[in-house]
Amino acid sequence: MSRFLSRWLVLTIAAGVMVALLPGMEAVGKPPILGIAAFALFLALINASIKPIVHLIALPISLLSFGLFALVLNWLLMELASWLAMTLFDVGVIIHGFLWAVLGSLIMSIVSGIVNAVIGD
């Protein structure tokens, strides 16, 4: 359980940086950190549960497209996390397009790696 909470914290920090840097990402909520935290919660749940299965099923298509289909899957999973947060809690992160989701996942990967290295997870 503590591993999940630390992962959620790391994703919340990474999503906050992503929203701050990208104009195509918009945090919804009062204060906006609630939207970012809700988005990060659902992203952590998706990453822990269905993401490995979806990527495994889509592996042949990803290999044929030289990994570009994995970008589409990441975009869809980010949209799913955003939709769940907005639907269930009325807060979240609005993603304004595929390109912003790709750039956002790149920023989140870099920031997550840095934060994980700092906190020693």
pLDDT digits 0-9 by tens, 44-92: 999 999 999 999 999 999 999 998 898 889 999 999 999 999 999 999 9
pLDDT digits 0-9 by tens, 50-61: 999 999 999 999
Whole-number pLDDT of residue 119: 83
Rounded to the nearest 5 percent, the helix, strand and coil shares of the chain are 80, 5, 15
Mean pLDDT estimate for the chain:
92
Angle between helical axes of 98-119 and 68-89 (0-180°, round to 10): 90
Q: What angle do CA 41, 43, 47 make, to 5 degrees?
A: 120
User: For residue 82, which of 31, 30, 46 has the smallest C-alpha distance?
Assistant: 46
Residue 121 has pLDDT above 80, yes or no: no
User: For residue 105, which of 39, 33, 29, 28 has the smallest C-alpha distance?
Assistant: 39
Task: Identify the three-state secondary structure at position 30.
Answer: coil
Total domains, the chain:
1
pLDDT digits 0-9 by tens, 1-38: 788 898 899 999 999 999 999 999 999 999 999 999 99
Structural domain harbouring 106: 1-119
The one-letter code for the residue type at 89 is F
Alpha-carbon gap, residue 21 to 73, rounded angstroms: 22
